[in-house]
Structure formats: structure tokens, C-alpha cells
Structure 1
């Protein structure tokens, strides 16, 4: 058990300054530790963080921070791109690059013909 935790447990029985003196700890360090303990409680994730999963999944992981920002705006979430980027990284989300465009107009398989050659008959 750390001395600060000990002081925290017994401060109802003894003054903090006396406990710090006995344990040779600075009172300012104890109070700084106490503030850190209060801050490191469960940090609440903002509502927009859970809301970003839905458009990201609907659009097959193709939406990056710019598109997600626009998609979250009608839901009432005004978020910056950098905050979105950080949240996506924290959640392990990464936008996929766009698919390469290849035109599919011709089937060049020589054995397949669309219509039989009637001129040869």
C-alpha cells in the first residue's frame, strides 16, 4: 500500500499534516495524488464516439474523418476531424482506400461470342 493511500484511509482519524509528517511525505504531494485519483476515474466517452460506428459500418468502412464528420452533423454531433481521427484510432477503425476503377465493357474471352457469325453460312 502506498503511503498516500494510507493517509487517505486514516485521514478521518488524524490530521493530514500529522500523517504526512510521520510518513515523511509532503502534504502538497498527497493532495496532488488525491486530485490525480479523482481525475483517473472512469472517463466517459462522448456520445458521438459511439455514434460514429453506425455510419462507418453502413458505408462498408469507406468513410474517413471528413465524411464521418458530415454524417454525424445531422445527428447533432459537431466534432472536429482531429478528434474523430483520435477516436477512430482508439477504436481500431481505419478507412479503406477507394477501390480501383476498371471499366468492364468488353469480355475478351475468345471462346465466348455474343451472337453466332451468320455471314459465314
Structure 2
């Protein structure tokens, strides 16, 4: 179970760090925090995912049917 949690954490870190360039960001804490919040919102509420039948993750969780697993 620990390796699954680590894998999920690493996935989230990659989703957040790479598009926002947080590896070498010169932003202060407040700006970095706001960028992370926006990134999470886009990931879960705006961007459709092929693994979720081209729904956003939030839309996929609201479905009454089971999505086809692609992972």
C-alpha cells in the first residue's frame, strides 16, 4: 500500500511541478500556493481525461455507471 501512495504522490507532484515550472520557480509562497490551486482546479474541473471517457475527473466521479478502466 505504501508504494501505491508514493506512486500517487509522485504523479501529483509531476502534474503540479512541471507545468508550473516549480523546480526552479522564483515565486514567493503566496504566488506558488495560488498557482498550485489553479493547477489542481484545471486538472480536476476543466481538463477532460482520456482515461475518464473524456470527462473531467470531477464529472467522472459523478457518473452513475462504471467507467471502462484504462489504467
Q: TM-score w.r.t. structure 1 length? A: 0.22
Who wins on radius of gyration, i.e. which is larger?
1
Higher helix share goes to which structure?
A: 2
Q: TM-score when scaled to structure 2?
A: 0.34
